[in-house]
Amino acid sequence: MVVSSAPGKVYLFGEHAVVYGEPAVPCAIERRAQVTAEERDDDRIRVRAEDLSLDGFTVEYGSASDAAPDVDVAESLVEAGMGYVDAAVEQARDAADAPEAGFDITVESEIPLGGGLGSSAAVAVAGIDAGARELGVELSTEEIAERAYRAELAVQDGEASRADTFCSATGGAVRVEGDDCRAIEAPALPLVIGFDGGAGDTGELVAGVRALREEYDFAADTVSGIGDLVRRGERALADGDLEELGRLMDFNHGLLEALGVSSRSLDNMVWAARDADALGAKLTGAGGGGCIVALDPSDGTETALKFTPGCEDAFRAELDTEGVRVEDR
């Protein structure tokens, strides 16, 4: 039996635009998904999933032919969550050249499912590491990131970027532009997360941006503008200029709003953070619901979010400098 974990993430800048080759800067946060893999004597896969949202739920099934699990979340989220587990298993089997290996798998996550904090990437990264190690193969961080990217690509119908999986595998702050992925230096960041309890449909939101970009030149210019903003944000990050980082986060949220990927609940949380004197605030991830990230060294934003209608949870999130790792059994 092997237990591996990987962190979630927030985007300081660049979500959606990264799909079109523009740069993005995600940062790993100290909320993790943990996957336990134990090889079976047959070729069946049994998955037990716990706490895949902040409220928590449990899913158990023995095979793809079993009835759908009875849980109080959108069926599309459950299917997607299990899809990432299945894709991770396939990558672990491939790495070990064991196409018929069976597993008992347990997934435990502190990361809200579909909330924009990289839950799927963390599950894929930790699942591949745990599954491969259980089959006797130790993969490099780079190969885990590559295989997790392939897993997300398969589940998301070719619309995934390398940003989430690379960040989860390596930890810390990273810069992703197309196939160019690398770690970058970052100061301690006073991050505050607000969660509305919901989730956007990543595929639908990405497709919506694609349609806008193809129909309107100014939408394509907006995507390019996000890329320009990211490059300026990198300089502010290197300089440790938190005030400039906050201003650019505000701009980034406005551009994402223009692309139609925000929501009333996300906007309400962003404005609550700004009214509480956060240095900056924006949605993080695909949008449509889920989480915002604010930059605030004080307690003001966290307190304000807890009293904001539509915000189900608010918490401080430290930068996690460690990526995928093996946990004590």
Q: Which residues are catalytic?
A: 164
The Cα 274–Cα 246 span in angstroms is 10
The amino acid sitting at 311 is C
pLDDT tens digits, 97-109: 999 899 999 999 8
pLDDT tens digits, 122-180: 999 999 999 999 999 999 999 999 999 999 888 877 667 788 999 999 999 999 998 89
Over residues 238-252, mean pLDDT: 96
Nearest to 37 by CA among 114, 95, 78: 95
pLDDT value of position 81: 63
Say which residues have a Cβ less than 8 Å from residue 168's Cβ, sequence separation at least 6: 6, 7, 8, 9, 28, 118, 121, 122, 124, 125, 145, 148, 323, 324
pLDDT value of position 57: 46
- Cβ–Cβ contacts within 10 Å for residue 166, how many? 27
Percentage of residues of the chain with pLDDT beyond 70: 90
Structural domains in the chain, sorted by start: 2-185 (3.30.230.10), 191-317 (3.30.70.890)
Mean predicted lDDT score pLDDT of the chain: 89
Q: 183 versus 76: which is more confidently predicted?
A: 183
Q: For residue 209, what is the enclosing H or E element?
A: helix 202-215
> What are the DSSP calls for 271-289, one per residue?
HHHHHTT-SEEEE-SS-SS
232: Cα within 13 Å, side-chain hemisphere: 15
Task: Dig out the tokens for 255 from the structure.
Answer: 């551009």
